[in-house]
Structure 1
């Protein structure tokens, strides 16, 4: 339905970067007025930290807290881990985003390479 790329040059932790991706993804979905969201991430640690009900003492704690609060604004919001190999289009979109200057937003559209990879995934039976 849509995707975005926002550069964060000062983030040196992969876990914090992944948590920021989830946070920005939720905000993007909220901005597009989605009410039911399934957010997939290739960071098992971030997804686990979001899903657990016990106190989170990880370095991504402030971002996970924001994710949980933002998730309450949706009618339904589910988080799930998906291996990078399971979503080639998302990886291509991230690479495309890194090539551009500034932030990029795609609504009901995507770079041609990402569309090709998603179509290839669909034809081979892998999730888009």
Structure 2
């Protein structure tokens, strides 16, 4: 997941959903209006990633993002009292929908596909949800395997 924040008016999220083998399942982009900060946009990206996995019926997930702050807030069970606390609580409330949920920080360079999606939606102004045949025709079709991170 990746977010781009352009100020108080507009921000975007790009989600790249893969299965356990690294195969590309879904690409989704979202435009957010009136989001107050980059942290809020990152938190919304994490929430949208969680909701996407729920809609796909996935029981075990790993959400990866490049904001250490948001990942740490999602990992904790403590109540977050910051400005983005309500978004973090929404994410934490959805944890019970999964058998296993892991929040992992990744470096921005590893998050390049999601970043490119977020930038594309910012440029085009159109959200998207691609899977199946539509996904095969997308420019990411040649990049179907996720580069494995060493654990």
1:56 shift after superposition: 1.4
1:73 matched residue in structure 2: 97
1:104 aligns with 2:128: yes
**Unaligned segments of structure 2, at least 5 residues:** 1-24
TM-score (norm 1): 0.82
1:43 aligns with 2:67: yes
Distance 2:64 2:76 in 1: 16
TM-score (norm 2): 0.71
2:86 matched residue in structure 1: 62
Cα pair distance change 1:102/1:18, threshold 3 Å = same
Runs (4+) of structure 1 exceeding 6 A deviation are: none
2:5 matched residue in structure 1: none
Higher helix share: 1
Aligned pairs, how many? 123
Cα pair distance change 1:72/1:121, threshold 3 Å = closer
Higher strand share: 2
Determine if contact 1:89/1:115 at 8 Å carries over to the other structure: no
Distance 2:115 2:141 in 1: 12
Q: CA RMSD of the aligned region, Å?
A: 2.3
Determine if contact 2:63/2:104 at 8 Å carries over to the other structure: yes
Distance 2:121 2:127 in 1: 8
